[in-house]
Structure 1
């Protein structure tokens, strides 16, 4: 079982008891406003998403970790790696992504989890390069990307929804 511990977080594979907490996060319009078309996910949609994330672990050897707060055991959301199939122009790069519930915003958890996922990608999984993609206007995510040492590489358009995106990247030499 793949697990990463940071000073305040546990990044781990998904468990059955994570479903309700992740569904609560995914049902918050403020959390989801920057994701795809901004639609929220219900319990069934969240269950399907977690199933896809676990399948990616099985197929790729990486995926999105459940992010747990060490001190309380609460599920804060997810962070990890994914193949950004929605944006074919960046393939074969792997994306680092995160989504946390609102009670966990503004405390440095996203940066802490994303840094652990980046280290996992480049040091443990041997990837040479990682990207991160944000919808234009999502300053909080872009701030995390810059904290990771990622650099803005291009602006593009979401192929399905038509809104502007920014693609940040970092390679092994920049990370080291």
Structure 2
């Protein structure tokens, strides 16, 4: 599978963000269930201006072949329902957190809007992204390893990782670290 092809799972479709998604995504980023766990983000991370730049980067990233090990903006995809096309969240894989912050492993991130939580979409999206990511890592000749992190008290996110096949490996100061390694 080419990295730029959209892929699907049972109920979901994964695609690059489009500017039409902007307002919906900004609203999702400002929901209490997300802000509770992303309290450390600067206030500008909750604005349309911030996400306009991020969307422009995402669109530019997906307009060419993406290298999961090199791309600074990560391989983030919008999640939409197959049935309606509605944007419901985000799933992404990245090796970078900031301008000079390279991670040792690929890290998965995900967010499902409040109206769609509790239906298994996070687990479904995480499984699909991991399958895709491990295949890409193998293609690139890299050790296929993906990690996930969640605050210790963020049980819904920790359950998503566990249901998606991750195993707990480490408790950091604030975070529980999980990993999945191709077999």
Q: In 2, Cα distance between the equivalents of 1:106 and 1:139?
A: 12
Q: Paired residue for 2:35, among 26, 32, 37?
A: 32
Determine if the alignment matches structure 1 residue 11 to structure 2 residue 18.
Answer: no
- Secondary structure of residue in 2 paired with 1:11: strand
Stretch of structure 1 that moved more, 36-45 or 2-11: 36-45
After superposition, the CA RMSD in angstroms is 2.4
Unaligned runs of 5+ in 1: 158-163
Structure 2 residue aligned with 1:156? 172
Structure 2 residue aligned with 1:160? none
Q: Paired residue for 1:91, among 90, 93, 103?
A: 103
Contact 1:111 1:148 in 2 (8 A): yes
Contact 2:19 2:55 in 1 (8 A): no
Structure 1 residue 108 displacement after superposition: 0.6
Contact 1:56 1:82 in 2 (8 A): no
**After superposition, where does 1:81-160 map in structure 2 within 5 Å?**
81-85=93-97, 91-126=103-138, 128-157=144-173
Question: What is the TM-score when the length of structure 2 is the normalising length?
Answer: 0.80
Q: How many residues align?
A: 166
Q: In 2, Cα distance between the equivalents of 1:90 and 1:16?
A: 28
Unaligned runs of 5+ in 2: 69-73
Structure 1 residue aligned with 2:71? none
Q: In 1, Cα distance between the equivalents of 2:9 and 2:106?
A: 22
Distance 1:33 1:60, change over 3 A: farther
Contact 1:153 1:169 in 2 (8 A): yes
Contact 1:12 1:65 in 2 (8 A): yes
- Secondary structure of residue in 2 paired with 1:72: coil
Stretch of structure 1 that moved more, 135-144 or 55-64: 55-64
- Secondary structure of residue in 2 paired with 1:67: strand
Stretch of structure 1 that moved more, 43-52 or 91-100: 43-52
- Secondary structure of residue in 2 paired with 1:169: strand
